Homo-oligomer: A and B are copies of this chain.
């Protein structure tokens, strides 16, 4: 009692302390049904007293049960990463799983497989926002790791995809219905799938409502970092409108971060939102609420949860049928798209 000199406590100590065999301790750890209430209590007491925690490594080595899922993401600053992560965690907690995070740096996500799966660290992987090319596909295939994709698609895997086309459509429809007439969009610089889809949906909406589509009003910034999904790009895009001398009534930004940049540029130019020009973004990231910015919510939290429970399914039954879904976003209407000019 006097010296808390901690030398690692193992299952043997616990067993000795409780007066049982180590296998019994293991059984109560794993909630096996074949343990009498009486001994369970004894063992639990010993565990608590010694504050015993089973070593993960030993556990993983001995057991065939999967107990570790990895989530690989190109960057922790991805706007919705934290959202998805929270969803994943909420779900993971329900099962008895551990979770480990890995950022791949977007260039070589196969590293995640090597690092986690081949080396036995993870038994299943959630891949977030990473495109699966042939090489990656081959690696996954040969590893046979249970896998769920979030925000990317591939015919061979389970995936949860955002419906970007619909999101773009909803944006367009919303702006039309609000009575704006000259509609523009700030897209990503590089040709990202997400931006292209949103643009396609947006244009489809305009066509559907017989609005004219003015190509000049579809611009992108020159800054190409993060695929042009940055404040900088949004900022630059606004100045492109300015140098054209031609502004839309309402602008749909490919994501919220751009919208922030755009907002700043508009302010600099002395234009008010929404009085002079309406603005909306995409993602519903935290600060939009308080900027009063209309945006599109992709419900990443829900997706995180769903992806995880799907993963659990695959783990249980590896040959279950593919489950490939696209999730529909919802529009969050706020002040930045109120039409204060026309009274239609």
- At the interface, yes or no: A77 with Cβ under 8 Å from chain B? yes
Q: Which residues of B contact A269 (CB under 8 A)?
A: none
Does B287 lie within 8 Å of A260, measured CB to CB? yes
From the candidates B53, B57, B291, name the one contacting A57 in the complex (CB within 8 A): B57
Q: Which of A14-22, A117-125, A152-160, A317-325 contacts B (4 or more CB under 8 A)?
A: A117-125
Q: Which residues of B contact A261 (CB under 8 A)?
A: 290
- At the interface, yes or no: A55 with Cβ under 8 Å from chain B? yes
Q: Within A169-227, which residues are at the interface with B (CB < 8 Å)? A: none
- At the interface, yes or no: A247 with Cβ under 8 Å from chain B? no
- At the interface, yes or no: A58 with Cβ under 8 Å from chain B? yes
Does A264 lie within 8 Å of B291, measured CB to CB? yes
Closest partner residue, chain B, to A291 (CB atom): B264
Q: Which residues of B contact A97 (CB under 8 A)?
A: none
Q: Which residues of B contact A144 (CB under 8 A)?
A: 6
Binary interface profile of A, 31-59, with partner B (CB < 8 Å = 1, else 0)? 00000000000000000000101111110
Does B56 lie within 8 Å of A290, measured CB to CB? no
Q: How far is the CA of A60 from the CA of B56 in the complex (A)?
A: 10
> How many Å from the CB of A297 to the closest CB on chain B?
18
A contacts with B: majority SS: helix
Does A56 lie within 8 Å of B235, measured CB to CB? no
Q: Which residues of B contact A231 (CB under 8 A)?
A: 286-287, 290-291
- At the interface, yes or no: A85 with Cβ under 8 Å from chain B? yes
- At the interface, yes or no: A108 with Cβ under 8 Å from chain B? no
Known: A82-B76, A144-B6. Is A235-B61 also a contact (CB below 8 A)? no
From the candidates B118, B232, B235, B260, name the one contacting A53 in the complex (CB within 8 A): B118
Q: How far is the CA of A100 from the CA of B99 in the complex (A)?
A: 10
Does B85 lie within 8 Å of A55, measured CB to CB? no
- At the interface, yes or no: A142 with Cβ under 8 Å from chain B? yes
Closest partner residue, chain B, to A81 (CB atom): B76
- At the interface, yes or no: A114 with Cβ under 8 Å from chain B? yes
Top 5 nearest A-B pairs (CB, nearest first) are A55-B120, A57-B60, A57-B57, A53-B118, A57-B61
